[in-house]
Amino acid sequence: MFYPLAGKLIPWFAIPAALLFATGLFVGFFIAPTDFQQGDAYRIIFIHVPAAWMGMFLYVLMAIYAGIGWAFNARLSSMMASSLAITGAMFTAISLITGAFWGKPTWGTWWVWDARMTSTLILLFLYIGFISLQAAIDDARRADRAGAVLALVGVINVPIIYFSVQWWNTLHQGATIRLLQKPTIRGSMLAALLIMLAACWLYSVAVVLIRLRCIILEREQNASRFAEVGV
Amino acid sequence: MNWPDLSMGGYGFYVWGSYIASLIFFVWEVVSLRQRKRALAQQQQQQSSKPVSTPVLRGSINETTS
Amino acid sequence: MLRWIVWRDLMLAWRRRADMLSTVFFFVIVVSLFPLGIGPETQLLRTIAPGVVWVAALLASMLSLGRLFANDYQDGTLEQLLLTPQPLFLVVLGKTFAHWIVAELPLVLIAPLVGVQFDLSRETLWILFLSLLVGTPVLSLIGSVGAALTLGLRGGGVLISLLVLPLYIPALIFGAGAVEASVMGTSPSAHLSLLGAFAIVSLLFSPWATAAALRISLE
């Protein structure tokens, strides 16, 4: 079955992930130069930007897996979606917190309602909704499918939400400078960003597979428990 | 290659703060997964060591039978 | 069939019209809390009015969404409706429309009255009314998806809110934005058009999603 295969794959992702994190941070801190405008504070982007991207990618991936699981009655696919949700939410949270840490020294406040941060916050709400819904439903199949509907509605709504937040933001900003502007990207900075992004991907695969195995086991155990009782 | 300024030009709190916060999340995720696995392994052991004729009512099953 | 569903839901709601009134009262009270919490300075009130009224309408609606399917679910009517040859999404459309009339329309009608508390001009009150008129159906539509997904679950209104409120944010932005534009003297037409577009999109997609969700919840 899938379970042992997943088990074998995990170290192939976990170890490279650790290596890439180390490499990425090395490049980001030892090789990339100090930014002209933002000083060394900009180095936060090496975790902030990959985390934000992961938050978004994983949400779409989650919706796709959930949709496939629903459409084709593929339980493994649905379980994958449930596993992705927590990691995705975590990256989104990291992106929000690191964004706050970045905003304070560069723009003076811990939180800024710019389009990107606000959209990320809403993305976190969407994750929370998905996770809460699945947590509230005891029956695994209903939880899988209900989650799929919610995730698909969410994924369709995300571009609309993003657009409306952009709209809202430009209306209220007036002539102020664009917030959280990235520094002028040098080659080494880009390299560090991409390496960190790859590291995050590998980490996610490893973690999601581990969690997936847990979910598989939990469902099997629940099934056998019910069988014992004769339900 | 140049040795980074550890104080990050005065922004040390923010830079290291972000990385530490992120690290906390990563560690939390891995640790909680480990715990989850351990709990599952324990339950697995308990189930396999129990004789089949005595079903054990646990957790959510109590709610469904009430 | 559609007309029958709407009529039936309206009759049922009329018998429990206390529920309808409590939603309105909640709305009025919540709106009044803000000046009490913030201070009576009129310029400030005029600025916060669009957001406050809109958010209060959202919250009041969240409370009423649970009722959309719950009663029919409990007495078994919902399962019957699923078995009829009529397409489910028509049933959903009918119930959602009835819900809007019962739960949202009173809010829309009362809103201008409540807006007076914030010293809004007549022009702005009209925009407030209009924006809610277009925006509240969206709330019923998107809310119906949440209500269908959470059928029979513990967690009630809070869970529905967690699911629905993020999805509803574009309507909030455009709707409150329209009123705010009016307060500031600029034209609200862009906001209202976007709100209208969002409303049309929800009308096209939500009943399907809700119908699917109902099937999932009732298996």
Q: What tens digit of pLDDT does each residue of C57-75 get?
A: 999 999 899 888 888 888 8
**pLDDT band for position B62 (cuts 50, 70, 90):** very low
Output C71 or C179, whichever has higher pLDDT: C179
Q: How far apart are CA A207 and CA C19, in angstroms?
A: 47
**pLDDT band for position A229 (cuts 50, 70, 90):** low
Distances (CA, A) of C30 to A148, C23, C37, C53, C187: 34, 11, 11, 9, 28
Residue C17 has pLDDT above 60, yes or no: yes
Give every CB contact of residue A183 below 8 A, 6+ residues apart in sequence.
A35, A36, A37, A38, A42, A45, A189
| Least confidently predicted of A223-227, C13-17, C75-79, C131-135 | A223-227
State residue C109's pLDDT score.
94
| Residue A106 domain-assigned (yes or no) | yes
| Residue A224 domain-assigned (yes or no) | no
Query: Which residues of chain C make contact with A153, given a CB cutoff of 8 A?
Result: 145, 167, 205, 209
| Residue A228 domain-assigned (yes or no) | no
Query: What is the average per-residue pLDDT within A211-227?
Result: 85
State residue B61's pLDDT score.
45
- Three-state SS string across chain A, please? CHHHHHHHHHHHHHHHHHHHHHHHHHHHHHHCCCECCCEHHHHHHHHHHHHHHHHHHHHHHHHHHHHHHHHCCCHHHHHHHHHHHHHHHHHHHHHHHHHHHHHHHHHCCCCCCCHHHHHHHHHHHHHHHHHHHHHHCCCHHHHHHHHHHHHHHHHHHHHHHHHHHHHHHHHHHCCCCCCCCCCCCCHHHHHHHHHHHHHHHHHHHHHHHHHHHHHHHHHHHHHHHHHHHCC
**pLDDT band for position C2 (cuts 50, 70, 90):** confident
| Residue A12 domain-assigned (yes or no) | no
Complete DSSP assignment for C8-51? HHHHHHHHTHHHHHHHHHHHHHHHHHHHHHH---HHHHHHHHHH
| Residue A5 domain-assigned (yes or no) | no
Helices C122-149 and C42-65 cross at an angle (nearest 10°) of 30
Radius of gyration of chain C (CA): 18
State residue C174's pLDDT score.
95
What is the tally of structural domains in chain A? 1
Query: What is the average per-residue pLDDT within A110-114?
Result: 84
Query: Which residues of chain A make contact with B56, given a CB cutoff of 8 A?
Result: 225, 228
Q: pLDDT digit string (tens) for C133-161?
A: 999 999 999 999 999 999 989 877 789 99
Q: Nearest-CA distance from A120 to chain B in Å?
A: 16
3-class secondary-structure state, position C214: helix
For chain C, percent of residues with pLDDT exceeding 70: 100
CB contact at 8 A, A42 and A186:
no
Query: Which residues of chain B make contact with A41, given a CB cutoff of 8 A?
Result: 8-9, 11, 14-15
Query: Which residues of chain B make contact with A140, given a CB cutoff of 8 A?
Result: none
CA atoms within 13 A on the CB side of A206: 19
Give Dmax over CA atoms of chain B in angstroms. 69
State residue A176's pLDDT score.
44
Q: Which two three-digit tokens encode residue B56? A: 């054990």
CB contact at 8 A, A41 and A105:
yes
State residue A175's pLDDT score.
40
Q: Nearest-CA distance from C17 to chain A in Å?
A: 30
Q: Which of B21, B17, B22, B16 is nearest to A21 (CA)?
A: B22
| Least confidently predicted of A65-69, A149-153, C117-121 | C117-121
Q: Which of C172, C27, C169 is nearest to C111 (CA)?
A: C27
Query: Which residues of chain B make contact with A138, given a CB cutoff of 8 A?
Result: 60, 64
Q: pLDDT digit string (tens) for C95-126?
A: 999 999 999 999 999 999 999 989 899 999 99
Q: Which of residues 188-207 of C touch A (CB under 8 A)?
A: 194, 198, 201, 205
Contact A39 B10 (CB under 8 A): yes
Query: What is the average per-residue pLDDT within A169-197?
Result: 71
Domain of A108?
24-31+43-174+184-215
Distances (CA, A) of A13 to A64, A203, C47, C205: 22, 7, 53, 39
Q: Does A54 touch chain C (CB under 8 A)?
A: no
Q: How far apart are CA C197 and CA C99, in angstroms?
A: 21
**pLDDT band for position A105 (cuts 50, 70, 90):** confident
3-class secondary-structure state, position B63: helix
B-chain residue closest to A37, CA distance: B9
Q: Which of residues 91-150 of C touch A (CB under 8 A)?
A: 145, 149-150
**pLDDT band for position C9 (cuts 50, 70, 90):** confident
Contact C155 A129 (CB under 8 A): no
| Residue A8 domain-assigned (yes or no) | no
Query: Which residues of chain C make contact with A125, given a CB cutoff of 8 A?
Result: 162, 165-166
| Residue A18 domain-assigned (yes or no) | no
Q: pLDDT digit string (tens) for A2-58?
A: 788 888 888 888 888 888 888 888 888 877 777 767 777 788 889 999 999 999 999
Q: Does C153 touch chain A (CB under 8 A)?
A: yes
Contact B9 A207 (CB under 8 A): no
| Least confidently predicted of A20-24, A80-84, C48-52, C205-209 | A20-24
| Residue A58 domain-assigned (yes or no) | yes
State residue B55's pLDDT score.
52
Question: For residue B1, what is the DSSP state?
Answer: -
**pLDDT band for position B65 (cuts 50, 70, 90):** very low
Q: pLDDT digit string (tens) for B19-61?
A: 999 999 999 999 999 999 999 888 888 877 765 555 555 554 4
Q: Do chains C and B touch (3 or more CB pairs under 8 A)?
A: no
For chain A, percent of residues with pLDDT exceeding 70: 92
What is the rounded average pLDDT for all residues in chain C? Answer: 91
Q: Does C58 touch chain A (CB under 8 A)?
A: no
Distance between alpha carbon A61 and the CA centroid of its chain, in Å? 10
Residue A126 has pLDDT above 60, yes or no: yes
